Chain A
Amino acid sequence: MRRRRMSGRRISPFWALCVAAGILVVVFVAMPAASMLAGAGAGLLGEALRQDDVRRSLVLTVSAALITTVIGFVAGVPLAYLLARKEFPGKRAVEGLIDVPIVFPHTAAGIALLTVYGRQGIAGRLLAPLGLEFTETVAGIVLAMLFVSLPFLVDGSREAFALVDERYEHVARTLGSSRFGAFARVTFPQAWRGVLAGALLMWGRGISEFGAVVILAYNPKVISVLTFERFEGFGLRAAQPPAVLIVLVAFLVFVLVRALSAPRRRRSGTEPP
């Protein structure tokens, strides 16, 4: 026997609480972002772009993160598809493992990578003859970015693939498509938005990475390292140009991600009274 209280036009305390908490969270997140963007007047931005080291660092950061994302795409998307479609022993463990970098403190990730890919690490020694070194190199930056950002692409893609009905693939195959054909012509065209959003998220995560990168490669300086160096070495004023620039780039990436994922969203909640 359930009694239903009709609240009429009164706002129930429950929703009032939700709204109040929501406002707090929104203000908390919006204030620093807004302060940064408000500070990013044309003057500061122009100043940032006129400084050689900031410009170089921006190009380095954006392109290293892009290389990272391409590598992640080639390696991570097949895995994501596998995870979305197949059951196999140890699958849960694999899924968990993929997400481990999310909870790793990034400095710890950098140290872990150093022990494996450093000059005396197992992988480091194997790859050195091929001319691949990971300390103080772009390769090291890419490595660090890859480790911490891969989960975003794999998780995003896996969810996107899982949303594509497997029956369409069966239909394509009964109509004579190969597995590759079915994937390329049926699955991917339906999942690409989600995959791309995952890739962009990965790219953005790579751009913003600091802790793991700084341990492998202090030089050449990615923009987060440059910002930190400026702050520590020269003060707040000097750190502002690169900081503002990177916030703007990150914001742009974020807007792209939102734009891509928006149409997939269906409203599932009800309107609050």
Chain B
Amino acid sequence: MAATDGKASLRAALAAACGALGVAGAPAQATEVRTGVLGYTEPGRVSALELVGDAKHTFAGGQAATFRFVYDVLSGSSANGGVPAAAAQTFTSPSGRGSYTTEAGATPLDGTFRDTRFAGSAGMTLPWGRLTSATLGLYGSSEHDYTSLGANAALTREFNRKNTTVTLRAARYEDSVSPEGGAPAALSAMLPATGGGGDDDKLGPDKDDDDNGGDSLAKSVTDLGLSVTQVLGRRTLLTLNYTNSRVAGYQTDPYKLLTVVDPVSGAPRAADAYLFESRPDRRLKHAVAGELLRHLGRDVMTLSYRYFDDDWGVTSHTAELAWRANVAAKQYLQPNVRWYHQTAADFYRRWLVDGQALPEHASADYRLGDMTAMTYGLKYGRTLATGNEVSLRVEYYAQTGESHPAEAFGDLRDLDLFPTVDAWIVNFGYTFGK
């Protein structure tokens, strides 16, 4: 019999046979490992490849340990914030040594964007009585110009014959940014490429990518959260979530620029046309979310909504519908659609105008602008004879904004100031356990 060929198969077959008798229980002790490969590509812009490994071990005593590891590689081009122009434009690369040129009419993209990131986390959940559990965790990530260290804790308690679950969460992260080429001063002009050893403090001395000089800027994040999950009958589950996040420290993107345009022609001004952006060093964010999960026959529908706002003036709404259709005993198809809309930060400026006073803060980062995004996805999952699970998810994402804002003047009127960004996401997952 083939079932004895593999390790998991005997146990899985036996568990299934016992399960058929209706006496299966919560796992006594189990190790589950999830692995995934995710590919992300914005055609003509950024590509990323991400490897994820997740392991969870539940001990017979009820304690659980979790580990997570992420490695990703990003490369490609990313919008630098400058507006397109009727003539070709030349920008200094972040290192200060090289330069790149954007053709007339094209959105300026910084093609020197390349990074690898490692992130790891570990957590331990400890039951504390039958109804309460505590979770403690540590987090760390590193890229060549960014490191983050964090710790988190959560307390979960069940009420109402386990029909209500309340979780309180707190997390603190200490991040450090060491921009390539040094951190530019707020709204300072981009300098021409030096092409070799630098002599300017802002650009830093000649150095390789892994040594970013002494400029290291700190940022701290404090998250507080409360979530309540309520069982509403046999087929419905409702989860409500509130998160408060306080960020203090350096939040400017050191590689993003704004174009200062001529007040009449709308073209980049003749000298010092590109200024480095500047963001406030404090940000307070609130998010409220609700998720309704309902079993409909053998299918499961998940409807969720999230509201977000912050004191930078960004407000966003996310609504998502996912439908898990269990098409066969061990296979499912899950289409999903997500709508996202956000309003711009108060200091978002698509461009600055020559001759006008500089604002205290300004950013042309499209991620802080008015935008609407749609995501369409389909996931296929299947449980193998061994009990292991494979899944494949494909998503298409399209983000649109105001390509021709009413305030545009001169050359700007004819240029696409918020080109549609679209992306494809492909995710392969494999879950196994013992």
Whether A associates with B in a native complex is no
* Contact surface of B with A, Cβ cutoff 8 Å: none
Residues on A lying within 8 angstroms of B by beta carbon are: none
